[in-house]
């Protein structure tokens, strides 16, 4: 996936073809360096016949229509026409995720419901069969992490909910992704691939990342002449909750292992100025902690934003490219826990180490154990409580005793 220009080599070229290629090479080398190439000058309209002008105008119109159709080459999880089957690299990545088993973490079963949370990492194949991941921008009105990029997700409602059920319910509430697989219209299907190790949010939530793949197989052939059109609730057209989500976009999954934009040759002109990655080390506790900052280009896709009805309720979303990040026009910043989870997931999926510096472990389970021993993960959270460096230092010491 790292190479976008691949040259095929054939070791079985016959003798005649080899001689022909040698002759072509010799002919090219025989052209003098100072030769003047006279560009072809098309005949003026006055010298063309009426039929020729009509043919040319028709051709120009066809080219214009093709250019208009190619203006939006983005791939969207709600539009099967913009998706193709997984390519070889993506299929191998999905196989690794299916096979991944996180280590047991029995503390989850003892956590109160107020400390449990999960996020959904929804992957899908784009027009080239490369994997992309769905990301949201949190609404500015939210109390926690307002305006930050995030994976769809949130807190548990009951102790009986599994992390995957939490993530799917929150994805339904935030972006309208149906919770019930039976309500997902053909040709779509969602497969839960794996869990990743638990992460710790600064708000003292224990977060389980849930990785899933959105399949878009060919729709089944109807068995009757009656065609049932899916309702809004059954479709995958983004239906955003304006109170929670400011925008939905996607990012190239493999790029979360790279320090620069991975761009196909035909997309170069669409990439906005600016860096893809920045990183820094922070001492969030006694060990150094790598902070990742990714700047995802969004000029090559339609960013989905909520369209408001009367009363502030969200209806079917509209697709625009307005309101880009003022600091990095044309890019959205992905950082914090979300960036950390994406790097971990991409490392598992592709079996590669990131190009940039990173922590060697996945998740924060040792730190979570330490906080639980300090009594910081009880049912009630102190108002305005957030983890401080001192809290994490203490937790690290407790975890080291285990």
Q: What is the pLDDT of residues 386-401, one digit of tens each?
A: 656 566 566 556 555 6
**What's the average model confidence in pLDDT over 196-200?**
96
Cβ proximity of 362 and 344 under 8 Å = yes
Residues 180-199, mean pLDDT to the nearest whole number:
91
Residue 337 in 3-state DSSP? helix
Q: Are 116 and 216 in contact (CB under 8 A)?
A: no
**What own/partner pairs with CB < 8 Å and gap ≥ 24 does 349-353 have?**
349/93, 349/94, 349/96, 349/97, 349/131, 349/253, 350/1, 350/89, 350/92, 350/93, 350/96, 350/254, 350/257, 351/96, 352/257, 353/257
Q: Is 245 in contact with 148 (CB distance < 8 Å)?
A: no
Contact 393, 285 (CB under 8 A): yes
Q: Residue 316: pLDDT band by 50, 70, 90 thresholds?
A: very low
**DSSP state at residue 76:** -
Q: What pLDDT does residue 384 have?
A: 52
Pairing of strands 153-155, 289-297: unpaired
- Residue 245 has a pLDDT of 75
pLDDT of 30 above 80: no
pLDDT of residue 263: 86
| Residue 67 vs residues 61, 70, 269: alpha-carbon distances, Å | 10, 5, 14
| Cα separation values, 291 from 143, 282, 347, Å | 22, 7, 16
Q: Which tokens is 120 given?
A: 């959904």
Q: Would you say residue 28 has pLDDT above 50?
A: no
For 283, the 3-state DSSP assignment is coil
The residue among 252 and 381 whose pLDDT is bigger is 252
User: What pLDDT shows up at residue 9?
Assistant: 34
Highest mean pLDDT among 82-86, 115-119, 219-223: 115-119
| Residue pLDDT, tens place only, 275-300 | 999 999 887 655 677 899 999 998 87
Q: Average the pLDDT over 56-61 and give the result.
A: 44
* pLDDT at res. 72: 58
Name which of 27-36, 101-110, 304-313 the model is least confident about. 27-36
Check residue 32 and give its pLDDT. Answer: 37
What element of type H or E holds 66? helix 50-70
- pLDDT higher than threshold 90 for residue 117: yes
Give which of 297, 328, 329, 322 is closest to 307, Cα–Cα: 322
Mean pLDDT of the chain: 74
Least confident of 52-66, 91-105, 107-121: 52-66
pLDDT at res. 294: 96
Q: Which residues contact 53 (CB under 8 A, 6 or more apart)?
A: 45
Decide the pairing of beta strands 331-335 and 289-297: antiparallel
Minimum mean pLDDT range among 49-58, 146-155, 250-259: 49-58
| Mean pLDDT to the nearest integer, 307-315 | 46
- Are 200 and 279 contacting, i.e. CB atoms less than 8 angstroms apart? no
User: Can you give the pTM of this predicted structure?
Assistant: 0.72
């Amino acid at each position: 996936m790292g190479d976008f220009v691949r040259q095929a080599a054939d070791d079985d070229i016959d003798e005649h073809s080899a001689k022909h290629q040698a002759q072509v090479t010799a002919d090219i080398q025989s052209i003098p360096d100072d030769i003047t190439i006279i560009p072809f000058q098309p005949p003026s309209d006055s010298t063309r016949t009426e039929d020729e002008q009509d043919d040319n105008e028709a051709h120009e119109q066809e080219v214009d229509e093709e250019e208009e159709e190619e203006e939006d080459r983005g791939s969207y999880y709600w539009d099967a026409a913009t998706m193709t089957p997984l390519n070889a690299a993506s299929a191998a990545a999905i196989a690794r995720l299916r096979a991944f088993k996180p280590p047991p973490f029995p503390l989850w079963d003892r956590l109160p419901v107020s400390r449990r949370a999960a996020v959904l990492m929804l992957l899908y194949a784009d027009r080239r069969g490369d994997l992309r991941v769905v990301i949201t921008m949190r609404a500015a009105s939210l109390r926690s992490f307002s305006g930050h990029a995030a994976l769809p997700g949130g807190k548990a409602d009951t102790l009986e909910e599994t992390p995957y059920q939490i993530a799917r319910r929150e994805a339904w509430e935030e972006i309208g992704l149906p919770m019930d697989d039976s309500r997902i219209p053909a040709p779509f299907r969602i497969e839960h691939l794996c869990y990743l190790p638990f992460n710790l949010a600064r708000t003292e939530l224990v977060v389980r990342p849930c990785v899933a793949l959105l399949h878009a197989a060919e729709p089944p052939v109807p068995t009757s002449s009656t065609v049932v059109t899916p309702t809004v609730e059954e479709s995958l057209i983004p239906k955003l909750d304006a109170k929670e989500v400011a925008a939905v976009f996607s990012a190239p999954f493999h790029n979360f292992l790279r320090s620069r934009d991975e761009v196909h040759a035909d997309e170069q002109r669409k990439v906005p100025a600016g860096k893809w990655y920045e990183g820094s080390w922070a001492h969030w506790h006694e060990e150094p902690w790598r902070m990742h900052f990714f700047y995802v280009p969004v000029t090559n896709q339609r960013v989905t934003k909520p369209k408001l009805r009367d009363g502030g309720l969200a209806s079917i979303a509209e697709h625009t490219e307005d309101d880009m990040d003022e600091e990095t026009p044309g890019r959205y910043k992905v950082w914090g826990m979300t960036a950390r989870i994406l790097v971990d997931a991409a490392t598992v999926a592709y079996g590669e180490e990131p190009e940039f510096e990173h922590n060697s472990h996945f998740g924060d389970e040792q730190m979570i154990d330490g906080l639980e021993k300090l009594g910081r993960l009880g049912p009630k959270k102190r108002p305005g409580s957030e983890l401080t460096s001192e809290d994490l230092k203490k937790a690290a010491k407790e975890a080291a005793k285990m």
